[in-house]
Amino acid sequence: MAELGGLLQTERNFIRVELIDDPAAIAECSARAGHTGDRIICQRCGDADLTIAAILVVPAGGESQWALCAACLLEMP
């Protein structure tokens, strides 16, 4: 445990995530999800005209994945 900014932090307060930002890896994730030939839509803003910049993968709970456009990715803390 560590104290950070007056708050007590433990390892259980954090989850491991993976950010996939390689275009080939994004295309591979898209194909595995059944989007072959279809565009992946940003799951934060829903704008179908924007290109996906990254996929955020959360391994805990079954490998949840969120596709994000560049604008939404840059808004993340």
Length of the chain: 77
Give dist(CA 50, CA 38) in Å, integer: 13
pLDDT, average across residues 57-72? 85
- Tell me the three state secondary structure of residue 19: strand
Whole-model pTM: value is 0.69
pLDDT band for 1, please (50, 70, 90 cuts). very low
* Pairwise pLDDT comparison (25 vs 15), residue with the higher score: 25
Average pLDDT rounded to a whole number, residues 54-65: 83
Which letter does DSSP use for residue 30 in this model?
H
